[in-house]
């Protein structure tokens, strides 16, 4: 039903990505879409076929699949606390984080909230789009500010229809997210807070470019689903062991190997499962961060390498 409605909505509309016509050179070829996205997008587009994007989902796509997306990808800067999408709201764009971390949050009727997942450079927002949905069932906001690539949702849908390898890769990503979510659910009910705290810090560390995490204790308690006092004790124990230093919302990873030894088995299991499903690691020591090389748009819409 949803797919039928989507097919009907696609008829007669002109998108950046359209299987029936040659790919345009850049987003300005479709002024309506580009103008609609300007509030979110900065004017930097991904034009080069030879440089890594910095997002591991994009960088591990088959080349033809990335080339289908490439003309419509633009670089955006995400701010701390920025709302990416609201529960049950229409998806407007799909994001591929670079050094940013998005937090997926569930809100309860009594006002309590809990984080149920994070999305960083290993993946993308808007997985539901690949599954044929138009709205999100959770809320997403920016926990760690940095850059991302964005694509209007109509272009992403069109690319999925154009390129079967993109669709199968996105579905594999869905399986990887489902596997991770299941494991984290078991972890949260079985393992001690200290070990879960170490596991969460490792997951966050893999997704940011440096060793500094800007996280409050309130945020960490939300991540781990425990009271703030429990997070304080866990962070203090990790600090006393010399694995992290912590002060006023700043967590510095001092000894990553030590932090791994303090984590429950779930960090390793998550990594192992992820790599076996997606075919790539998200570990910082396996895939170091590097600045993506972007093509900058000139006012006439043509591109040049920055």
Stretch that binds Zn ion, among 28-36, 182-190, 211-219, 241-249 (CB under 5 A): 182-190
- Using the minimum distance from each CB to Zn ion, give the nearer residue, 199 or 284: 199
Q: What is the DSSP string of 217-281?
A: HHHHHHHHTS-HHHHHHHHHHHHHTTSEEEETTEEEE--HHHHHHHS-THHHHHHHHHHHHHSS-
Q: Where in 246-285 is the site for Zn ion (CB under 5 A)?
A: 264, 266
The site for Zn ion, by CB under 5 A, has a size of 4
Query: Shortest approach of Zn ion to residue 273 CB, angstroms?
Result: 13
Query: Shortest approach of Zn ion to residue 282 CB, angstroms?
Result: 17
Q: Where in 90-109 is the site for Zn ion (CB under 5 A)?
A: none
Strand partners, 119: 102
Query: Shortest approach of Zn ion to residue 234 CB, angstroms?
Result: 13
- Using the minimum distance from each CB to Zn ion, give the nearer residue, 28 or 266: 266
Query: Shortest approach of Zn ion to residue 211 CB, angstroms?
Result: 23
User: CB pairs under 8 A, 24+ apart, for 128-132?
Assistant: 128/91, 129/91, 129/94, 129/153, 129/156, 129/157, 129/160, 130/160, 130/167, 130/170, 130/171, 130/173, 130/174, 131/171, 131/174, 132/2, 132/3, 132/6
- Using the minimum distance from each CB to Zn ion, give the nearer residue, 159 or 224: 224
- Using the minimum distance from each CB to Zn ion, give the nearer residue, 52 or 264: 264
Place of tokens 């109509």: 154
Nearest to 160 by CA among 198, 194, 136, 126: 126
Burial grade of 17 (CB within 10 A; 0-12, 13-18, 19 or more)? buried
- Using the minimum distance from each CB to Zn ion, give the nearer residue, 225 or 301: 225
- Using the minimum distance from each CB to Zn ion, give the nearer residue, 230 or 295: 230
Task: Give the containing element (helix H, strand E) for 66.
Answer: helix 63-69
- Taking CB under 5 A as the rule, does residue 187 contact Zn ion? yes
Strand partners, 137: none
258 and 268 in contact (C-beta within 8 Å)? no
- Using the minimum distance from each CB to Zn ion, give the nearer residue, 176 or 187: 187
Binding mask 188-207 for Zn ion (x = CB under 5 A): ---x----------------
Q: Rule CB under 5 A: which residues touch Zn ion?
A: 187, 191, 264, 266
């Amino acid at each position: 039903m949803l797919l039928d409605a989507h097919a009907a909505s696609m008829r007669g509309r002109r998108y950046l990505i359209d299987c029936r016509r040659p790919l345009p050179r850049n987003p300005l070829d479709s002024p309506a879409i580009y103008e609609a996205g300007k509030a979110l997008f900065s004017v930097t587009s991904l034009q080069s076929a030879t440089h890594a994007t910095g997002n591991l989902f994009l960088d591990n796509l088959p080349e033809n699949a990335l080339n289908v997306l490439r003309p419509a990808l633009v670089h955006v800067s995400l701010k701390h606390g920025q709302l990416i999408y609201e529960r049950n709201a229409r998806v407007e764009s799909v994001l591929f984080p670079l050094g940013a971390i998005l937090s997926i949050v569930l809100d309860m009727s009594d006002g309590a909230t809990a984080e149920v997942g994070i999305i960083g450079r290993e993946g993308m927002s808007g997985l539901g789009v690949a599954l044929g949905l138009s709205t999100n069932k959770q809320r997403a906001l920016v926990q760690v500010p940095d850059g991302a690539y964005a694509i209007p949702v109509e272009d992403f849908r069109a690319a999925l229809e154009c390129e079967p390898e993109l669709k199968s890769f996105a579905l594999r990503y869905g399986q990887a997210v489902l596997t991770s979510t299941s494991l984290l659910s078991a972890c949260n009910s079985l393992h001690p807070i200290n070990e879960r705290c170490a596991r969460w810090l490792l997951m966050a560390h893999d997704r940011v470019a440096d060793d500094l995490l800007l996280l409050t204790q309130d945020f960490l308690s939300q991540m781990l689903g425990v009271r703030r006092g429990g997070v304080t004790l866990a962070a203090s124990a990790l600090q006393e062991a010399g694995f992290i230093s912590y002060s006023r919302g700043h967590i510095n990873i001092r000894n990553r190997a030590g932090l791994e030894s303090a984590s429950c088995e779930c960090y390793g299991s998550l990594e192992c499962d992820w790599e076996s499903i997606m075919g790539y690691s998200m570990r910082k020591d396996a895939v170091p961060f590097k600045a993506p090389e972007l093509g900058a748009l000139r006012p006439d819409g043509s591109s040049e390498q920055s």
